[in-house]
Chains A and B, each alone.
Chain A
Amino acid sequence: MSDKYIARSTAIAARMLGGEMMVMSAVDSTFFTLNEVATAIWQAADGRTPLSEIVARRVCSEFEVEPEVACRDAEQFVDELSQHGILLVSDRPLDNLSSSPVEAP
């Protein structure tokens, strides 16, 4: 995996509901729910940590996923969210623009 840096867009809304993260783009009103693994990646998208490191630290170690599978899935997830402007992707570190979502009790 080539090093990519990901940051959450400022034009999104997000909230945890029943263990899933709801994310909605203010730009095109696309609505997503993220599973636990995707949520972990999304929450770690601080613009400074390379995606490979996020996958290694937050996915492989916490969810018992093979690194190869985790990397492939993460790339696909990042591509999809970036197409809707929900994640910003760069090959250089980005300023993290968005705060972390509050988790419902």
Chain B
Amino acid sequence: MTLMQEMNERALELGVPMGVHLDVTYRCNERCVHCYLDHDDHGEMTTAEIKDVLEQLAEAGTFFLTLSGGEVLMRRDFFEILEHVRRLLFNVRIKTNGVMIRRQEAQRLRELGVEQVQISIYSHRPEVHDAITKLPGSLKRSVEAIRFLKSQGLKIAIANVLMTANMGDHAGVQALARELGVTYTLDPTITPKMDGDASILRLRIPGSELNAVFHNQDLVGNVEEFCAPPPLPGEDIMEGYPCSAGHTAAYITPYGDVFPCVQFPLPSGNLRRQKFIEIWRHSPELNEVRSIRAKDLPVCSSCSHVGKCTRCPGLAYMEGSMRGPSTADCEKSFHRTGILTANMLRKARSNAPGPLIQIQRLAVQSAT
């Protein structure tokens, strides 16, 4: 066990929210086709409110803070917020599209001790990237931002979300990351919109492509290990919980709503009405999330993938039940290993055609 894992275990035992993702705005200068957010401002927290939330998080023991959006730099007070973040000694990572980062911003981010900046790049080809962001010239701007940040010695990660429009371009983006000397991460997950609208799920890459991604050594490393059949579930797995959401992690919207995770929009309290620690410790919703163990999942507990599945309780929640399966993760488990999931088998049974011969009582119609 690494030192970091040890501290995460301790945070879990003590009920400390080690990692918090704070979206400071949903406003954005891009209009990505797959985005799950509503970009209008419905009353974002003020600078003073955000500073107060940050103080509450520091007191609650939060160490890892992710600042994201929307586009963080759409807030004119972003650097004032960041200064406060660092004054409170958070480890901070920033997610941005980089379009508004020039030399001066890059220098300020370095001076403020930001640990990592993650920038979304969808393709190495401007016509593909810019068509996804709907902002002409955005690839050029984002790549320039990476160069400015890199010249300051900051750690950069390129986040490459994969969807139908760019599914052939991951090798190009990976090569671009290598050329720029930055980390590359790939994510084939498209999530429904926060309001439950699932129309953007049509952008998800097809199963055949997911299969190819999972069997690509350049993307997953050791394919044999990555695609190995799931282990037999033991007691530790059945007593385990699915992820850190609500256990050692939380998400805060620009409006002060607290959710277990950015992908798990379960309203658990609002910081304009309650203190963070009160929500974290006493919210019935968060306590319900914490109470769920693998053995409590009606479908997934009987699935052979239960010990290795990336099942996201938030995606399951958006599908209808936080205890249910997450179809997107079922697909991933299947395309990784070739083994059908319990959810897939259940659906196949319920979709099976009826008997070939149906006997029906002949209705006798009387002539009028």
A residues apposed to B, CB below 8 Å:
10-18, 20, 22, 24, 26-27, 29, 31-33, 98-99, 101-102, 104-105
Q: With A31-B3, A31-B4, A99-B89 as given contacts, are A15 and B115 in contact (CB-CB < 8 Å)?
A: no
> B89 contacts A22, CB within 8 Å?
no
Q: How far is the CB of A88 from chain B (nearest CB, A)?
A: 13
Which residues of A sit under 8 angstroms from B3, Cβ to Cβ? 31-33
> A17 contacts B10, CB within 8 Å?
yes
Closest Cβ neighbor of B59 among chain A residues? A102
> B88 contacts A24, CB within 8 Å?
no
Which residues of B sit under 8 angstroms from A104, Cβ to Cβ? 14, 16, 59-61
> B61 contacts A13, CB within 8 Å?
no
Tally of B interface residues using CB under 8 Å: 29
15 further A-B pairs in the complex, CB-CB below 8 A; given A13-B92, A17-B10: A13-B89, A14-B89, A15-B62, A15-B63, A15-B89, A17-B14, A17-B61, A22-B7, A24-B63, A24-B91, A24-B115, A31-B4, A102-B55, A104-B16, A104-B61
- A17 to B4 alpha-carbon distance, docked (Å): 12
Closest Cβ neighbor of B4 among chain A residues? A31
Q: With A10-B86, A31-B3, A33-B7 as given contacts, are A16 and B91 in contact (CB-CB < 8 Å)?
A: no
**Using a CB-CB cutoff of 8 Å, which residues 76-108 of chain B contact chain A?**
86-92
Residue with the greatest number of chain B CB neighbours at <10 A, chosen from A10, A15, A17: A15
Which residues of A sit under 8 angstroms from B86, Cβ to Cβ? 10
Closest Cβ neighbor of B18 among chain A residues? A17
Which residues of A sit under 8 angstroms from B61, Cβ to Cβ? 15-17, 104-105
Q: How far is the CB of B304 from chain A (nearest CB, A)?
A: 36
Which residues of A sit under 8 angstroms from B91, Cβ to Cβ? 13, 24, 26
Q: How many A-B residue pairs have CB under 8 A?
A: 68
Q: How far is the CB of B229 from chain A (nearest CB, A)?
A: 34
Q: How far is the CB of A50 from chain B (nearest CB, A)?
A: 24
- A24 to B60 alpha-carbon distance, docked (Å): 18
Which residues of B sit under 8 angstroms from A24, Cβ to Cβ? 63, 91, 115
Q: How far is the CB of B292 from chain A (nearest CB, A)?
A: 25
> A13 contacts B115, CB within 8 Å?
yes
Which residues of B sit under 8 angstroms from A102, Cβ to Cβ? 55, 58-59, 88-89
- A9 to B61 alpha-carbon distance, docked (Å): 20
Q: How far is the CB of A12 from chain B (nearest CB, A)?
A: 7
> B10 contacts A26, CB within 8 Å?
no
Closest Cβ neighbor of A11 among chain B residues? B113
- A33 to B10 alpha-carbon distance, docked (Å): 12
Interface string of B143-178 (1 = CB under 8 A from A): 000000000010100000000000000000000000
Which residues of B sit under 8 angstroms from A32, Cβ to Cβ? 3
Pick the contact of B16: A17, A26, A33, A98 (CB < 8 A). Answer: A17
> A13 contacts B7, CB within 8 Å?
no
Pick the contact of B10: A10, A11, A18 (CB < 8 A). Answer: A18
Q: How far is the CB of B140 from chain A (nearest CB, A)?
A: 28
- A33 to B3 alpha-carbon distance, docked (Å): 8
Which residues of A sit under 8 angstroms from B113, Cβ to Cβ? 10-13, 26
